[in-house]
A and B are shown apart, each in its own frame.
Chain A
């Protein structure tokens, strides 16, 4: 039984989702499979690009964020996936050898209109480097099962869109 359900999230909650060292090997391995561009694969080729050196694929940074989020927050919840992602901003390059930290902030919670057994929690996730520079922002509203499917629904909240 998960510890946290939809009812347990509230706007303003901030969760530290841990830290992780990003290696050159994982950056290159991801890029070889999913984003085979010179600036993600090879230092020499990357130095000749506008990026000035090797950096992680932006999609890799999304995947790293997803994994940190899963291990440090979702694992203990009634998470049911997400219907999409509102926005991702890649603000600064993620370089090999960087230690990143992830912070989750709850912006809003909203009961599902069509399903009484789940609700949405709107989060802003922020990925920082070791000097607290913001590298990336991801805004998303995942679904969580409610603690009791037959409990009365709270008042409908305004739609986020």
Chain B
């Protein structure tokens, strides 16, 4: 992770894509969100969705995994260049999550993120908070998920020059 001071509002990143299989959708939903339209093709066909679709939580959790993998890759590159890597702190949460279209079996969702706010935390010296607008778009170019998340990021300490 970059240090807080090095993060700019407006920065964007494409963090990866994921294709949702029927097995994947049903396995996630069976554990966490066992609604008939997420676990059973026949029940899904009778529902307002028309066919099997992923739990919205599944669509969001895949974003989390892709972001972590993306950041790990970036951190590996920083270490290879001999640069320090900032720590991530807690996330206070997220807001305005919209599941804009169902994610159906076989859909491929491309995820992206944009920094929309960055502010130092007076209450926590050494940390700043960034907010990100996160999106997922399917293979037809249709947005399927959108939300705003926040996370604490380490500030550059003494002796850590850019």
Taking Cβ atoms with an 8 Å cutoff, the residues of A that contact B are 33-37, 49-51, 57-59, 62-64, 66-67, 70, 74, 79-90, 93
Contact = CB atoms under 8 A, between A and B. Distances in A.
A59 B57 contact: yes
Contact of A50 (B61, B87, B97, B98): B87
Contact of B98 (A57, A63, A84, A89): A84
Given A34-B61, A62-B57, A67 B31 contact: yes
Question: Majority SS of interface residues in chain A?
Answer: mixed
A74 B34 CA distance: 10
Contacts of A74: 35
Contact of A33 (B33, B65, B88): B65
Q: Which applies to chain B's interface (DSSP): helix, strand, loop or mixed? A: mixed
A88 B94 CA distance: 5
A84 B62 contact: no
Question: Which 8 interchain pairs have the tightest Cβ spacing?
Answer: A63-B32, A84-B98, A85-B97, A34-B61, A89-B93, A87-B95, A88-B93, A84-B97
Contacts of B96: 84, 86-87
B162 interface: no
Contacts of A36: 65, 68-69
Given A58-B91, A84-B98, A35 B33 contact: no
Contacts of A50: 87, 89-90, 152
B62 A89 contact: no
B48 A80 contact: yes
Interface in B12-34: 31-34
Nearest to A117: B48
Interface string B41-64: 000000111000001110011101
Contact of B90 (A51, A79, A84): A51
Most buried by B among A36, A49, A63, A79: A63
A46 B99 CA distance: 32
B157 interface: no
Given A59-B57, A63-B61, A70-B33, 8 more contacts: A34-B64, A34-B65, A49-B87, A79-B35, A81-B37, A81-B99, A84-B98, A86-B96
Contact of B60 (A59, A82, A87): A59
B141 interface: no
A57 B64 contact: yes
B92 interface: yes
A93 B90 CA distance: 9
Contacts of A85: 94, 97, 147
Given A49-B87, A63-B31, A90-B93, A83 B57 contact: no
Contacts of A80: 47-48
Given A34-B65, A57-B64, A63-B32, A83 B93 contact: no
Given A50-B89, A62-B57, A35 B68 contact: yes
Contacts of B93: 58, 87-90
Given A62-B57, A63-B33, A70-B33, A34 B62 contact: yes
